[in-house]
Amino acid sequence: MTASELRKMFVDFFKEKGHKVIASASLMPENDPTVLFTTAGMHPLVPYLLGESHPQGRRLTSIQKCLRTGDIDEVGDDTHLTFFEMMGNWSLGDYFKEEVISMSFDFLTNVLNIPIERIAVTVFEGDLTVPKDTETEAIWKNKGLKQTQIYAYGREENWWGPPGQTGPCGPDTEIFYDMGKAKCSDHCGPACKCGKYVEIWNLVFMKFKREADGSFTEFKQKNVDTGMGLERVLTIFNGKTNVYDTELFIPVMTHLNNIIGELDAIMSIRDKRIICEHIRAVCFILGDTQKICPSNTEQGYILRRLIRRMIRLFKKAGINQNYLCDLAEVIIRQYQDAYPELAENQTFIKEQLQNEIDLFLKTLDMGLKKADQYLEKTDINTALSGELAFKLYDTYGFPIEFTCELARERGRSVDMESFREKFTAHQNKSREGAAEKFKGGLADHSMETARLHTATHLLNAALRKVLGDEVSQRGSNITPERLRFDFSFHRKVTPEELREVEKIVNEAIDKQIEITMKEMKLNEAYALNAVGVFTNKYEDTVKVYSIPGYSVEICGGPHAGNTGELGSFKIVKEEASSAGVRRIKAVLKEGKHEQ
């Protein structure tokens, strides 16, 4: 089975079941500050899971690009990935447990031809807040599963979501493939890590919304959200033991092995896997419509971290010339049919890779000089302090592995215990800052967020009027307190231009214009000159929000009903976000604006 065959089989199956196919959304979540990347297929659908009507209807299916950063340090083993493709189907208040389990069982046993005896499932065992899911257990038994194939677990195993601090969530039933190995103990089950059971599909019954105070409220609209990892399924059903032996990685792994062989270099299997996994993730981040660049913050920081890790691994193997652009070309060729944006943005991908390579090599040279200075001042019988090792890492971007290697060459050591303490403190501080920063999100339908969403449309229109059609949205980030808007522009916006932008937005607010929404065909929307931010994700039918005289934009909402609800608009900062991209931060205040 090939990846393209699996994608088609999945999508065709659910089309036959009345689902509309929706395109993969951007890897960068639109208007959701709670996460850096799109982490699941349901992520772009949160407003619709909360009750907004989707223009494609109540049954949806897609193959969504996803990226998760929590497992970066685990990449290189048989299963962990940063970037992956999530096959999913959704019911927005249509079918529920019986129907989705029946469809999933049908796909597994009749399309993928999995013997029923190789299937194991888990259900939610219940707690003081939510009772045991006996209904799901009974449905699985009616499908022919024996009691020995059904396991009950608590929230840690069988509760999903929300993806941010608040939002839709609920109990789930996870489907596992029995690899045929003997049980490791009498207590062996799908929660065991021995490798007998491999999760292939998660069916989430979204009955609840988690509130900001940690409580749960039950939805009137019961939703279903499912997710099946393409890479994992492809690995299992091709009889492989790791994802790198599938067609997803064979081309880039072969190319890397050829490079290593030609140079007569030595690189470990794990390091090869890390490079091949990271170059795929990097290509998809750089190839995204939002054109994120390497930086020291947010998505750009993750991108920079992945690139620099690959450069370090080449250096570690004694390969001084960098081959990342060559490997990127392999990925682009392989995925461009399924994801055309990679081919469309291949020049940008390679330019950013080369820029980061050049920058990091300079950084490494500076780090080498500093490391030499620190080691020269360190007594031969004394370890290099963890504080100095961390300074090399944090200030100069110098990998700790390089520091240890240099120390060994000079007959010295590094105080790794102290370094780890400094590093852990740094991580904890970053997490605390992120937790404080990333509030709100797609699940936040508060009036404050709706008003700021509408203000973003007015800001976009005003920028285009003042600065010209060169302006196009590159991303937005909204919390209940402020909006952040990234847009393409080649220079700093002058104070006079910013005042004019503010004036136009506040003028629209003063006119108290009614905001309307209409569902229409995509070609109709473009005939109205509607602004489309991420055109590759739009379907045949879209929602178009209009502020007559100012803005017509394709969007999923939520919005204010009238511009007069916005109060007054104030730009608080304008700055560079990345090369060719500017960033504006703005707020709404009560009362009329000052003239």
- Partners of residue 124 on adjacent β-strands: 153
Axis-axis angle for helices 269-286, 250-262 (nearest 10): 120
201, exposed or middle or buried, with CB in 10 Å at 0-12, 13-18, 19+? Answer: buried
Contacts of 119 (CB under 8 A, 6+ apart): 108, 109, 145, 149, 175, 176, 177, 178
| Three-state SS letters, 504-521 | HHHHHHHCCCECEEEEEE
Structure tokens at 35: 């996460």
The SS3 of residue 251 is: helix
Establish whether 457 is an annotated binding residue.
Answer: yes
Between strands 473-478 and 483-488, the pairing is antiparallel
Establish whether 453 is an annotated binding residue.
Answer: yes
Structure tokens at 315: 């250096």
Distance separating alpha carbons of residues 575 and 578, to the nearest angstrom: 9
Q: Tally the residues of the chain.
A: 595
Instruction: Write the DSSP symbol of residue 580.
Output: T
For residue 63, report the phi and psi dihedrals to the nearest 5 degrees: -120, 105
Distance separating alpha carbons of residues 167 and 438, to the nearest angstrom: 14
Distance separating alpha carbons of residues 285 and 28, to the nearest angstrom: 8
- Do 308 and 322 touch, CB atoms closer than 8 A? no
Distance separating alpha carbons of residues 32 and 24, to the nearest angstrom: 16
Q: Say how many CA atoms lie within 13 Å of 339 toward its Cβ.
A: 28
Helix H segments across 143-176? 155-158
Nearest in space to 300 (alpha carbons), one of 28, 572, 585? 28
For residue 553, report the phi and psi dihedrals to the nearest 5 degrees: -145, 140
Which one-letter amino acid corresponds to residue 495? P
Which one-letter amino acid corresponds to residue 202? N
Angle, CA of 192, 195 and 198, to the nearest 5°: 85
Integer distance in angstroms from the first to the last C-alpha of the chain? 66
In this structure, the number of other CB atoms found within 10 A of the CB of residue 12 comes to: 13
Structure tokens at 140: 């699985």
Looking at 412-550, which runs of residues are DSSP E strands?
473-478, 483-488, 516-521, 541-547
In this structure, the number of other CB atoms found within 10 A of the CB of residue 532 comes to: 18
Nearest in space to 255 (alpha carbons), one of 270, 275, 235? 275
Establish whether 255 is an annotated binding residue.
Answer: no
435, exposed or middle or buried, with CB in 10 Å at 0-12, 13-18, 19+? Answer: exposed
Nearest in space to 398 (alpha carbons), one of 419, 367, 371? 367
- Do 507 and 564 touch, CB atoms closer than 8 A? no
Establish whether 555 is an annotated binding residue.
Answer: yes
**Binding site: residue ranges?**
453, 457, 555, 559
* Residue set of the binding site for Zn(2+): 453, 457, 555, 559
